[in-house]
Structure 1
């Protein structure tokens, strides 16, 4: 599904003074999908149909500062605020216990939600992300955007540079039109200028390392990791610790896949998530 069609199928919902883009599809077990940096909920466009067919009620949203959600300038973005907004959305929708799927930036939001109320999350699936801050390896573009030169570099970013950065974390081929849609989402309302502020999540991961590590390791619900080992940011080097700390979890490791399993290996990822989320 192209990005314009994805947007046409959702709505903007006001939560805590911000308007967030939200989609809901299907009937059955509730599941919420959280996307990563620097893209949007459209990353899940190839996953949602399989989850709906498997009997899930799927909620996806663009987090604050991303995609078609509000992108306030001068705002202090934080993982805690994003978790507040997810909880506010659940309250608006009347969502009680729910399953959760998260990727990249979204895994930190998921860890904060796990720290707050782990019993609410009946099943949790996590895709390539910085679950342990000390294992997170930002690529050069991220380090530059996170530096004092970040605002200047953000202003100089165009689609060509953005796509080159994405290709640096992908392993399997991704069609040009998909990468163009990723850029369209990121740059909506000049969103590229927010990258240095959004990247403060790297600092959040360091500050809250103990809290978020514990939330992952103490979670008692069923847990799935869908992982692209070729990811230079959060790839194969993360798996040994995950296997050590969560040996009872289910692991779906996708050979030859990089940072975006749901985009690079959409069928395999959708199959793994569908089976996990609908298990007895």
Structure 2
């Protein structure tokens, strides 16, 4: 990782830690939950060598970035403003924005709300679904009824934090390498009852998959041991607030060139249908499903993701 440098940048009234590499057109990489800039460790040097300036921040609430206390500090409007301000602080007028998981939702919204600043967009794992007809938590309650659902479990401040922070090494190992609590297709998760937790019934794997090393897990453990899980969980607690604050997402179209990547075995596919995205993203160049891959695709399938990103970036106007 000798090509990657680190610094702190001021934007939108907070400080973001960023990892960066290379020179050229800017590519902004946004991570999801529960991750950090480190999730892009395989992309930063490859894109940099291909002639791009690549910047991966710790999103507010994560790693070495600021973590405001208030729940509302993690609403989508604030996060998008962070990234617009980050472009300003980097001295860049435009960027290609790439996001995974919650970072994908942020990337899509950056492109939708600020097309003059984000000239193309890549989403991974989470499609752009616009604005639903009802606040998201109401939809989830209708869809899942009495069935346990992780986003509803995350809503009460302090509850999930206490569980996940009780044994951070177990949490990170289980979430990254085991059956995650967001896998609504798994029998373990489907068997949960009210009062169960995110990791209830999930064994912690002794052996890691080939794409994840003990050093990788240790890095994530260190980041969440420093910062805790509150900031990332607060993102889930703003979904209804976002619905109220951003009504334009119901109709605005993302006209920029776009790419969507998803793992064939990503559990999110069970409740985030890609077809709903297509009318809102008319210049969606491709939906690429990576055979056999799960949720953490830029880590699991780094070579394939890098190839897809390089192909997409090369297709864009200079």
Same fold flag (TM > 0.5): yes
Verify the 8 A CA contact 1:36 1:104 in the aligned structure 2: yes
Mapping for residues 23-172 of structure 1, pairs under 5 Å: 23-76=19-72, 77-129=74-126, 131-132=128-129, 140-147=149-156, 149-166=159-176, 167-169=178-180
Partners of 1:56 and 1:163 in 2: how far apart? 32
Return the alpha-carbon distance in structure 2 between the equivalents of residues 273 and 94 of structure 1: 23
Please point out which of 260, 263, 266 is paired with 2:299: 263
Distance 1:234 1:79, change over 3 A: farther
Alpha-carbon shift at residue 195 of structure 1 (Å): 4.3
SS of residue in 1 equivalent to 2:273: helix
Tell me which moved more, 141-150 or 157-166: 141-150
Q: Tell whether the 8 Å contact from 2:259 to 2:287 is kept in structure 1 after alignment.
A: yes
Given the superposition, is the C-alpha separation of residues 205 and 233 from structure 1 closer, same or farther in structure 2, using an over 3 Å criterion? farther
Q: Distance in 2 between matches of 1:150 and 1:50?
A: 36
Instruction: Give the CA deviation at 1:203.
Output: 3.1
Structure 2 CA distance for aligned equivalents of residues 41 and 67 of structure 1:
8
Which ranges in structure 2 are unaligned for 5 or more consecutive residues? 184-207
Residue 188 of structure 2 is matched in structure 1 by none
Note the residue ranges of structure 1 that are not aligned, 5 or more in a row.
none
| Matches of 1:26 and 1:38, distance apart in 2 | 26
- Separation in 1 of the partners of 2:245 and 2:296? 25
Label 1:211 to 1:12 Cα distance change in 2 as closer, same or farther (>3 A).
same
| Corresponding residue of 2:217 | 179
CA RMSD of aligned residues (A): 3.1
2:288 matched to 1:249?
A: no
How much has 1:157 moved relative to structure 2? 4.7
**Conservation of the 8 A alpha-carbon contact between 1:172 and 1:258:** no
Q: Deviations over 1:136-175 (max 9, x none)?
A: 9998555423346334434435220332123324996542
Q: Cα distance 1:209–1:253, how it changes in 2: closer, same or farther (>3 A)?
A: farther
Deviates most, 91-100 or 107-116? 107-116
1-structure distance, mates of 2:14, 2:275: 39
Task: Give the counterpart of 2:234 among 197, 217, 225.
Answer: 197
Count, aligned residues: 273
* SS of match in other structure, 1:37: coil
- The structure whose residues are more often helix, as a share, is 1
Cα separation, 1, equivalents of 2:246 and 2:179: 27
Indicate if the aligned counterparts of 2:44 and 2:54 stay in contact, CA closer than 8 A: yes
DSSP 3-state at the match of 1:36: coil
**Gap change, CA 1:66 and 1:147, over 3 Å in 2:** same
TM-score scaled to structure 1, two decimals?
Answer: 0.83
